[in-house]
Structure 1
Amino acid sequence: MKQRADRPGGVLGNVDWSRWSVVLLKPDCVRRQLTDQVLARLAPVARIVHQQSLVVEDWQVFVHYWDLLVDQDWLDVDVPTCLRNAYVGQPVMVALAYGPSGTPERLRALLGHFDPARALKGTIRADLGTDSLDAARVDQRLVENLVHTSDDAQAACRDFGTWFGADQYKHLFPEFEET
């Protein structure tokens, strides 16, 4: 089955991105060996159809965190340097989650506030997180909060391109994968 982008710059056509989310298990999650536990907490909402480990390249983290680079004036840190220090050359795990329409939003609700110290009990970041925005600011770094999932359908498409690439489209059609 050959798939191609439906518009210039598009990752793939014929994909209902509202049913997909890219899960980024960040360096702190990998370092603390929490990847299986975090994925298990996401599983009731969406099926993990593929996962892989990789080492982060600078372009990936800069594309992924484009919003921090654009709005870095609200942070009291050197965002590019902090991103390089926290991610580049570090192992992460990325996973593809598939579920009903609205999957990105449903998964985001399980994460909790980006600052683990402010996340509600019962969310992944509250229950498993050990960092806080206050501590990160004192140390002049970004907060460690274990996991990212795509914000919405558009972000899922962008995240897929960043962390997997269009050449891995077969994972978006799991019914066609060999077992």
Structure 2
Amino acid sequence: MDQVLSGEEGLTYEETLILLKPDALERRLVGRIIQRYEDAGLDILDIRYVKRVSRELIEKHYPDSMALALGLKAKEANPEIEDPEAYGRRVLEWLRRYVSRGPVIALKLGGEDAIKRARMVTGFTDPARAERGTIRGDFGIDSIERSNREERACENLVHASGSREEAERELKLWFPEDP
């Protein structure tokens, strides 16, 4: 997955996963979102429309081991959360329901430093705190604070792999036919 591009010292070619979540499709933002990644110099290597995300796939994408990290992120928005891991398990279930409630589009993107660049284009997880000029900052209409209050996942339009290891794992899940 990683290789130094010939003739360009220090530039690392990477592949990453982007998921356009159900709210991106419901709000008809697919074209505008994909354009942002292309404008950032990222190439679409593969694209997959998933009409119905299976329970098995969503549980592999959002494994139980993510509970503590999700709970700690939620605690940033709501310091009154006493048990971040238990709360994280609830958030995990909300996320699974959210992403599997309707169709999603999986994108396999490639380019130099693709993971970092894709995350910069995507913006901060919480749309209410995401910078203008990012997908979540420009198109997001939800917040982690509100979604926690309403006991549901924050609808933030897009998932972007956060590391090389995460990208490799997620690409195998969403594009299993690729070598």
Q: Which band: TM-score by shorter chain?
A: 0.7 to 0.9
Distance (Å, rounded) in 2 between the aligned partners of 1:47 and 1:85:
30
Distance 1:131 1:30 in 2: 15
Structure 1: stretches of 5+ with no match in the other structure: 1-14, 170-179
Which of 45, 68, 71 matches 1:49? Answer: 45
C-alpha change, 1:104 and 1:132, in structure 2 (3 Å) is same
TM-score by length of 2: 0.77
Normalized against structure 1, the TM-score is what? 0.77
**Separation in 1, partners of 2:117, 2:166:** 14
What is the identity, as a one-letter code, of the residue corresponding to 1:99?
G
Deviation at 1:72, TM superposition (A): 4.9
The answer on 1:145 being equivalent to 2:156 is yes
User: How far is 1:112 from its partner?
Assistant: 1.2
Contact 1:22 1:159 (8 Å CA) reproduced: yes
Cα separation, partners in 2 of 1:88 and 1:71, compared to 1, 3 Å: same
User: In 1, Cα distance between the equivalents of 2:139 and 2:47?
Assistant: 21
Aligned residue for 2:146? 135
Which residue of structure 2 aligns with residue 23 of structure 1?
Answer: 18
Amino acid at match of 1:51: I
- Please say if residues 57 and 89 of structure 1, whose CA atoms lie closer than 8 Å, have aligned partners that are also in contact: no
Counterpart-to-counterpart distance in 2, 1:93 and 1:41? 15
Are the counterparts in 2 of residues 62 and 83 from structure 1 also a CA contact under 8 Å?
no
Distance in 2 (CA, whole Å) between partners of 1:160 and 1:94 is 9
Corresponding residue number in structure 1 for 2:178: 168
SS, match of residue 114 in structure 1: coil
Identity %: 30
Q: Distance in 2 between matches of 1:114 and 1:99?
A: 22
* Aligned match of 1:61: 58
Secondary structure in structure 2 of the residue aligned to 1:43? helix
Distance 1:72 1:119, change over 3 A: closer
1:70 deviates by: 4.4
> SS state of the match for residue 32, structure 2?
helix
Q: Deviations over 1:86-132 (max 9, x none)?
A: 123521000111112x2111111111110000001111101011111
In structure 1, what is the Cα distance between the partners aligned to 2:118 and 2:126? Answer: 17
Residues 69/60 of structure 1: CA separation in 2 closer, same or farther (3 Å cut): farther
Unpaired runs of at least 5, structure 2: 4-12, 75-86
Q: Once superposed, what is the RMSD of the aligned Cα atoms? A: 2.0
